[in-house]
A and B are shown apart, each in its own frame.
Chain A
Amino acid sequence: YYHSEPHSIDLFHDKDWIVKRPKFLNLPKNEHSKLDIFQFNFNKSESNNVYLQDSSFKDNLDKAMQFIYNDKLSSLDAKQVPIKNLAWLKLRDYIYQQLKDPKLQAKTYVPSVSEIIHPSSPGNLISLLINCNKISNLVWKSVLKYSLSNNITTLDKFIHVLQQTFDHVYEQEILPMMTNTDDTDGAHNVDITNPAEWFPEARKIRRHIIMHIGPTNSGKTYRALQKLKSVDRGYYAGPLRLLAREVYDRFHAEKIRCNLLTGEEVIRDLDDRGNSAGLTSGTVEMVPINQKFDVVVLDEIQMMSDGDRGWAWTNALLGVVSKEVHLCGEKSVLPLVKSIVKMTGDKLTINEYERLGKLSVEEKPIKDGIKGLRKGDCVVAFSKKKILDLKLKIEKDTNLKVAVIYGSLPPETRVQQAALFNNGEYDIMVASDAIGMGLNLSIDRVVFTTNMKYNGEELMEMTSSQIKQIGGRAGRFKSRSASGGVPQGFITSFESKVLKSVRKAIEAPVEYLKTAVTWPTDEICAQLMTQFPPGTPTSVLLQTISDELEKSSDNLFTLSDLKSKLKVIGLFEHMEDIPFFDKLKLSNAPVKDMPMVTKAFTKFCETIAKRHTRGLLSYRLPFNLLDYNCIPNESYSLEVYESLYNIITLYFWLSNRYPNYFIDMESAKDLKYFCEMIIFEKLDRLKKNPYAHKPFGSTRGHLSSSRRRLRT
């Protein structure tokens, strides 16, 4: 019923859809382009009208028109000229129309006082002019603000009426019809160069931004947390849920009430009246932007430049409504923070911290390769295959026991592997750059296997900042330095070529970050969505935003990488019953690009669309793999369990957002533990690296595709 028929004008693509040129049906053709005509010209056949018959009327009207022309159309703002010209023509058109109208009942017309004060019906203009003397001069004097002694002429009255009528025609009729509000509509001007404007509530207060900078292992986060503990309302925003959990646990150990808010896990700390604790530890993506805080801590602020997740830091820095915002991070981010703070007008204080221990790059690479490793070493490699190969090789060639950490390991597994290494049960850590953030590791020496890293498309030399962050892990807390003095950290490699390049990177001056990654808020996306035709897919909107904003992008801000978002959106965007805001929410779901995972996610999304209520076990998923018998069976690969693990993680993520659709965390937790157990066992039993050969006997047939994603 509403807008089913197609429109002749394309509302959403024709930029001028709203602009309507006025029509001049009564104006002689030759006057359409010529403006400075004040008289009115008629054919002989039209001689029967007041203008031709009454010479004083004609005289007054002509003079008044000339006056209006001079008064209204000269010396103007250039933009307004064409529209004022049209108003002038329209006024003349009205006059022609009435003068030509044989049915014009001018004589019997009685003007009202209100029409004299404010003539606003151009359709009655001539009648009003003819009868303007029917209104008492007392009224006229008051209207024209003439003092009593002044004589009011008919021309004065004509000028008043025509001036007001012109204004009316111009402002009430022509200007609105000729104005393209799309141009002046704020919604059309989402400006990437000015994301500070997306957060007006934060702009209302002058925040004190306190920057704690220092290398890894300098205790900067500790200082910020001390401050957080002392206030009533605050938020710790960590880069990983693991770290959020760590802070949460730490606060609870100190008997400080605190909530946990991460994508996968939410714990509300309620008192007996149902009121939440004032402090919350959570991931940076979950910071409530419009809630008032006393202190917000943003950890690892240099992540602002991260292509995938940087928007969360940038938007939190720009948007949190907190009198104090503590930023912890590396020196490389300092100029960026300075620029942003300049933009927001907040107050900035910088606290610099020194590294707690010494860090040095060894003169020579390790002799004898793997055999030269010693307890406390952390070997760094950048593919899962390489990591797993190394673990096997080290354990085979030496008596050293090896713990591993890489990106796709479940966070809990990472914690455990770290613990095994830290307490000395295991000797060596083989890890990816996942160690760069957060986890406390007691590493004496970081051993780089390479200085190259796969960036998703090609093998690239690592930046000095990346090398510094990884290398900086050496000599971290309770380092078992033999001397007993200042804890020392060492960096080395197996190859002298790599070592040379690592040394260069470590000694290089700080590489300052240049851009912060950002992404418009859901509200802004929603506002933009209304500029598209109904039914436009969400992905089209995001792509367009991205393209549009990229065009106007300046040096300070760039846009979040769309690729992964679009892939996720592709899984549900055809589902009409998922509301738009939920689609934006879901586009951030941690869906790994594995067929089993995407299939399960699609099922989950269907549940949202139908508003059903399900437990994880009510889905058709291969939970039968969670069986002890599968442990020794090599046809069920580690990857299958990683997929299953990701599905369970996704379920937690969704359950936090839709607790009434995705229920029973208990069974999901039980499944997760069992899945983890199998992953641990499989890791322990690794006889050969499952990624070394093309896998055999896979029943799910998804491993081949995952070979393309061998980065960790």
Chain B
Amino acid sequence: VELDHTRELDNDQATETVVDRSVGPEKDIESINKDFLQRTKGLEPDIELKQLPQIKQEFNQRYKDRYVKPSEDWYVNSWRSLTKPKIPLYKLINSDFQLITKLKAPNPMEFQPVQLMESPLNVGDFVLLKMRPNELAMCVSLPSSTMDPRYTFVTIDGTMCFATKNRVLLRIPHKLPAGIHSLIQPESHHKHLPIGTVKNFSNQTNILPIVARQLITSRYPAQISKLAWKDLPITTKKLQLLHRSLQNYMGPWQIPFFTLVGLVQKLDLNKALDDKNGINYLTSLVNNYHTVNDIPINSPTFVSTYWAIMQQQESNLWGEIHLNTALLSPISVTIIPLKSQHLYYAQVIEKLEANSYREVNKFVKLVNERKYRDISALYPSVIQLLKDFAAGNFHNNGIIVALISKIFRKIERYKDCDITRDICQDLINEITPNSIPNPLLLNMDLALPASSKLVKWQQKLYDLTNIEELQWKKSGTDDDRYDFGDLRVFCIDSETAHEIDDGVSVKNYGRDGLYTLYIHIADPTSMFPESTNVDIEGISTDILNVALKRSFTTYLPDTVVPMLPQSICHLSDLGKQGQRTKTISFSVDVKITSKCSGKSIEIMYDSFKIRKGIVSNFPKATYEDVDRILGTPNSEASPVKKDLESLSMISKLLREQRIKNSNAVIFGEGFNKGLVMLNADSEGELTEVTFSDQEETLSTILVSEMMILANTLTGRYFAENKIGGVFRCYKQLPLGEVAQQQYDSMITSTKKGIFPKLKDIVKLSSLLNSSFYTGRPFRHEMIGAKQYLTVTSPLRRFPDLINHLQIHRHLQKKPLCFNQTQIDSLIWPIQSRADILKRASRNSSTYWTLNYLKKLTKLEPERTFDVMVTSVPQNGFTGCVFPDLSFARGTLKLHPSSMHYPMIGDIVKNCKISKIDCLEGMLELEKL
């Protein structure tokens, strides 16, 4: 029988006695109390002697005020639902009520990964947080305002913590039972000391009512954690076994995280360890791994896989767990080759640690004596170790950190330095002066040919690509193309563009404000048999398989690596005057109406066409050309100028319409400042940094609006015709009331033509989500499109390639190249690659930006900077950014004594750089 815990439990033994005033022969109660209080005087303040009945009574009162009342309030007022469990009020707390049987809420012990795409982080979701990676917490409250954009989470034991969404490592979607309005509430006034948690103001505390914790927030996380922990030893073994079947000895690669979890779920150790058929079982399981995509994910296995991988990172079996910032979930993990990394480093470590670090000591001696040639000859493994460390190829690896620290602590000129990736690079530069200027290019996830045999081999395949052979293999005819004749196609791009895959045209009918817009896109897929051969499902061509692994053209300040072989790009490129070039052309009619309030545009959806085309008239047009032509008012109205003016006018109207009717968000001034450009130094190496700001001009608006139009219309077309494709989507985050108002007012002012500036963006940035690829036609709320399907860059984006292949088959009225399941499983590697490249590009830009600052502070040690605050202070530190250098982000150390803390968006003047690690992207500043 469960007892009401407020009841006295031991009353049968406690005899309520009328206290005898005299206690023993020589003393009464007063003198006992006096003696006691006298002695404790000055040692412990506020001591008062109370007798048991009084203590009990006061306890009951406090318990009622602090715990019972909020729980009752919550149950009665914050959970309004006819289906909520009927619990008598006196049993609300510690009732061990079985919620599952009574509620029809979805069971979060299992979920489909697509649920992560359907709903962004919301109250009810379970997460692992960076500061508490070992325990699940539940999201219980949304960001309240831009002043403090942190979510509130509670752990299983009810501890409340506050964190922005970028602290989330893993997320399990979960919806609260119907009718729950809130979990966290401000602690209401009672006459006792508050028990809640302070968030922003010390006089304002928040509580999670006990009943809400016991019924809602802790049950599933506890259950999932318990099972995950229990599974962990088996999951660890399974991953060890799977690793050897998944690893590619040629180089690291990424497996989609949910595929790996699926494999862990599916793997039957009994079968795998069977002496006779074990290897075959394992091989076929792994080779068919893409088929495990559609099984639901078991939440405990998901968590235990994550934990197990974190552990096995230290033995170099797994590399980085890549996180997607929209799904807030691991999206892939790098599988490290067994021999060239795992075994290699196991041996290196053993060798270096042997005999009390004898080899380390020898190496250090050579470094101290600056005998670099000997080092290169005798210790290539140490150089490799330093290189991998500098490149960021170790994750969560304490053993390696300790070993590297061991080395540097013995080198005279380094021993006082912090162990950073920068000093590893400094030492490498000493030993081998001609090493790579940006060691991040050796990062194994980035996978440039320099760092992986696998990529070298893929590059070789690209170099040997023989176009004729490709076209020979392709079957089917190509005579159904629409010839656009000498229609002017403007391929507006910069002078240095690598591949030109889009062009635009316009026809002005000169009446009724009617225009036809054309967006012509390069047609590389027509070269591949996949576009015509109905026997092929999915991708079969080697080149396309490599292109899928790359997924995108890699753009770094240092280098560009095209997604497709150069030969294919050259053959597909638009913009060669007079050359009949194949396209996929999108066209639509628009109608411009002039009213006194200005012009408005109507898109005639019924006129939208997708055609295979041929174009050949490419008037030369860079961004500068176009801006110059548009900006010259009195020159003769040439046909080119007329076209461009029409296009520019239409593009402005398109943008206006997106903003007004579809709530699109456009960033204004101050955004994307200080973009990194590299110039060759005297030796031809790209090491000289210059910064430029991204600027918006008529020509950039023209191009981007036309592309958005094509992608939006094609998205709609795919959705209406039920063609599976790779959509791009953006979901607005659910926000707290005030935060939502602040977001809405940003939208409102955008509609008035006032675009958010840097300060606004910094304030809002935590409230903004990221866009992501998906196989489902979800909205893209940032662009203001009901569906958005990218087709305009098939030479540099694999999703566009997939969509083009679908268009080819669709236009031929043949079975599609990819079914929905195939599309869904292709999303993961593509998204993973997108995330890796985005991060790599940011890291490189940060590296060069910080390098610039490092040199600057070396020349002028007293130099100070003004920074903008980007986060709420935590543990005495706050995030900050240099307003003119987008990639100079860091932390600002605050003095605990200072009475005034800066707010997000504030400028803090006169800060000095106290620590800088360019490779890690770490920057620390201090206010002078």
Contact indicator A680/B39 (Cβ below 8 Å): yes
* Known contacts A177-B244, A629-B20, A674-B50: A7-B273 contact under CB 8 Å: yes
**Chain B, Cβ-Cβ closest to A17:** B273
Residues of A within 8 A of B342 (CB): 181, 184
Per-residue B-contact encoding for A405-418, CB less than 8 Å = 1, 0 else: 00000001001100
Among A186, A203, A577, A658, contact of B314 (Cβ-Cβ < 8 Å): A186
Contact indicator B240/A203 (Cβ below 8 Å): no
Among B23, B269, B339, contact of A171 (Cβ-Cβ < 8 Å): B339
Contact indicator A618/B873 (Cβ below 8 Å): no
Contact indicator B94/A614 (Cβ below 8 Å): yes
Q: Residue among B40, B245, B895 with the most chain A CB within 10 A?
A: B40
**Chain B, Cβ-Cβ closest to A676:** B36
User: Which of A28-36, A66-74, A495-503, A523-531 lies at the interface?
Assistant: A523-531
Kindly state whether residue B636 has any CB partner on chain A within 8 Å: no
Kindly state whether residue B270 has any CB partner on chain A within 8 Å: yes
Contact indicator A187/B314 (Cβ below 8 Å): yes
Residues of B within 8 A of A272 (CB): 201-203
Residues of B within 8 A of A576 (CB): 226
* Known contacts A206-B416, A416-B39: A530-B308 contact under CB 8 Å: yes
Kindly state whether residue B497 has any CB partner on chain A within 8 Å: no
Kindly state whether residue A274 has any CB partner on chain B within 8 Å: yes
Kindly state whether residue A670 has any CB partner on chain B within 8 Å: yes
Contact indicator A622/B32 (Cβ below 8 Å): no
| Bound-state Cα–Cα, A671 to B201, Å | 32
**Chain B, Cβ-Cβ closest to A178:** B244
Contact indicator A181/B317 (Cβ below 8 Å): yes
| Bound-state Cα–Cα, A9 to B272, Å | 10
Contact indicator A2/B301 (Cβ below 8 Å): yes
Residues of A within 8 A of B195 (CB): 659, 663
* Known contacts A2-B234, A117-B460: A7-B270 contact under CB 8 Å: yes
Interface residues of B in 163-195 (CB under 8 A from A): 192-193, 195
Kindly state whether residue A275 has any CB partner on chain B within 8 Å: yes
State the Cβ distance, B317 to closest chain A Cβ, in Å. 7
Q: Residue among A167, A187, A198, A667 with the most chain B CB within 10 A?
A: A667
Q: Residue among A118, A200, A610, A685 with the most chain B CB within 10 A?
A: A200
Kindly state whether residue B744 has any CB partner on chain A within 8 Å: no
Contact indicator B40/A273 (Cβ below 8 Å): no
Contact indicator A531/B233 (Cβ below 8 Å): yes
Kindly state whether residue B49 has any CB partner on chain A within 8 Å: yes
State the Cβ distance, B167 to closest chain A Cβ, in Å. 15
Contact indicator B5/A612 (Cβ below 8 Å): yes
Contact indicator A632/B201 (Cβ below 8 Å): no
Contact indicator A677/B43 (Cβ below 8 Å): no
Among A204, A275, A415, A419, contact of B876 (Cβ-Cβ < 8 Å): A275
Among B48, B222, B399, B405, contact of A204 (Cβ-Cβ < 8 Å): B405
Kindly state whether residue B680 has any CB partner on chain A within 8 Å: no
State the Cβ distance, B205 to closest chain A Cβ, in Å. 10
Number of interface residues of B (CB under 8 A): 135
Kindly state whether residue A11 has any CB partner on chain B within 8 Å: yes
| Bound-state Cα–Cα, A613 to B8, Å | 15
Contact indicator B234/A534 (Cβ below 8 Å): yes
State the Cβ distance, A139 to closest chain B Cβ, in Å. 5
| Bound-state Cα–Cα, A615 to B15, Å | 21
Kindly state whether residue A535 has any CB partner on chain B within 8 Å: yes
Among A182, A185, A345, A530, contact of B415 (Cβ-Cβ < 8 Å): A345
Kindly state whether residue B59 has any CB partner on chain A within 8 Å: yes
**Chain B, Cβ-Cβ closest to A416:** B39
Interface residues of A in 167-201 (CB under 8 A from B): 167-168, 171-172, 175-177, 179, 181-187, 194, 196-200
Kindly state whether residue A661 has any CB partner on chain B within 8 Å: yes
Kindly state whether residue A579 has any CB partner on chain B within 8 Å: yes
Among A611, A613, A617, contact of B222 (Cβ-Cβ < 8 Å): A611
**Chain A, Cβ-Cβ closest to B901:** A273
Residues of B within 8 A of A416 (CB): 39-40, 43
Kindly state whether residue B907 has any CB partner on chain A within 8 Å: no
Per-residue B-contact encoding for A5-17, CB less than 8 Å = 1, 0 else: 1011101100001
Residues of B within 8 A of A415 (CB): 43
Kindly state whether residue B580 has any CB partner on chain A within 8 Å: no
| Bound-state Cα–Cα, A626 to B10, Å | 13
Kindly state whether residue B9 has any CB partner on chain A within 8 Å: yes
Kindly state whether residue B229 has any CB partner on chain A within 8 Å: yes
* Known contacts A277-B896, A613-B94, A663-B195: A623-B52 contact under CB 8 Å: yes
**Chain B, Cβ-Cβ closest to A11:** B237
**Chain B, Cβ-Cβ closest to A275:** B873
State the Cβ distance, B296 to closest chain A Cβ, in Å. 12
State the Cβ distance, B128 to closest chain A Cβ, in Å. 14
State the Cβ distance, A7 to closest chain B Cβ, in Å. 6
Among A8, A185, A232, A270, contact of B895 (Cβ-Cβ < 8 Å): A232
- Sample (7) of A-B pairs whose CB atoms are under 8 Å apart: A168-B249, A196-B402, A203-B419, A204-B418, A611-B156, A673-B47, A681-B35
Residues of A participating in the B interface, judged by any CB pair closer than 8 Å: 2-3, 5, 7-9, 11-12, 17-18, 20, 22-23, 112-114, 117-118, 139, 142-143, 167-168, 171-172, 175-177, 179, 181-187, 194, 196-200, 203-206, 232-233, 257, 270-278, 291, 344-347, 412, 415-416, 419-420, 526-527, 529-535, 576-577, 579-581, 608, 610-615, 617-624, 626-629, 631-632, 658-661, 663-664, 666-667, 670-671, 673-674, 676-677, 680-681, 684-685
Q: A142-B464, A181-B240, A186-B399 are in contact. List 9 more A-B contacts (CB 8 A).
A: A20-B279, A22-B279, A171-B338, A197-B399, A621-B10, A658-B157, A664-B66, A670-B48, A670-B58
